[in-house]
Amino acid sequence: MLRARLLLFVVVLGSVGIENYAFAHEFRPGHMQLIEVDEGSPGYQVIWKEPILLNTTVKLNPVFSADCVMTNVAPPKVGNVALIYHWRTDCDLGKSTIQISGLPFSHTDVLVSLTKLDGEKTNYVLRPDAPSLDLREQAAPVMSYFVIGVEHLVFGIDHVLFVIGLFLFIREPIALIKTITAFTLSHSITLALSVLELVKLDQGPTEAVIALSIFFLARELVQEEHQRSRLTQGRPWVMAFIFGLLHGLGFAGALADIGLPKDDLWLSLLLFNVGIEAGQVAVILLLALFAWVLSRFGWQNVFNKGAAWSMGCLATYWTIDRTLLLF
């Protein structure tokens, strides 16, 4: 009876997240480019890429000092994951302050890139707990992209669920390491190709297929071993590699319209990817610890079944919802 209640609790606990996590890979940083221009008076060309934060009414708006006047405001362009605004501001932003209203109520960051007339470039990061900055302060290092990668993994619940599914599906440590390595390699490849604009795919279909990959893995988990597909039974690393290609495109969506600094493109991309992997390793270690605790009470099998059904419920909802949004 206790195990049956635990199974029901796990399924319900996982399923109640459907409404709150209708869209995953939700960590989408904003990006503001400030480019100094020489037109007779201090001024900057501003390019503001406001992330489209799904499942929330929070709107992010830049707020400049009172002496900064906006001119040449262009209508916004709609990108895959961001609204792109262009305007000019007639003040010396290098000695000014910037605040992002709405940022404290979001779960994302804003990157600010400042380019001076002499070509000097500095980068800053605004966070929910620090939504304003003085541009005279020391800039943030490129290492900020490592933190963004970690946060993107943590808030990308669909990617986390897929990693959890792999952990539950593969019981032998060596086989798990091979499978996770294949998954890591494949999504690193498509992430790089997408950011470099060598591969491009709309986020809508990508997110729908990512949800379908989680459904497939959840289905395999609830099946008896003799009913599972030969691919997942004999070569789970092949399955992980194929689905990893799709998840890499999902990761790239966070950077597609946000952009990476061109001067440090490869380093920023590397740090973002390493951040993702660091978050992934942390998830696996926590899962291993949690599995050990459950095994001490004999609840591991019950929890595994409940987790698989919860994954299936979420993935089914995501697949249907994201597919309908394509029409």
The full length of the chain comes to 327
How many beta carbons lie within 10 A of that of residue 247, not counting itself? 28
Question: Using CA atoms in the order 177, 182, 186, 187, what is the torsion angle rounded to 10 degrees?
Answer: -20
**Residue-level pLDDT at 241:** 92
CA distances from 190 to 30, 59, 147, 196, 215 (A): 22, 30, 20, 10, 21
pLDDT, mean of each 10-residue run, the chain (327 residues): 40 43 56 81 84 68 83 80 84 79 83 80 80 70 73 78 88 86 89 80 82 88 66 78 87 63 72 85 89 84 83 88 82
Pairing, β 132-134 against β 61-64: unpaired
> Whose structure tokens read 């497939």?
216
Measured distance CA(82)–CA(78) in Å, rounded: 6
> Whose structure tokens read 């206790």?
2
Nearest to 28 by CA among 305, 300, 257: 257
Tokens of 280: 């992934």
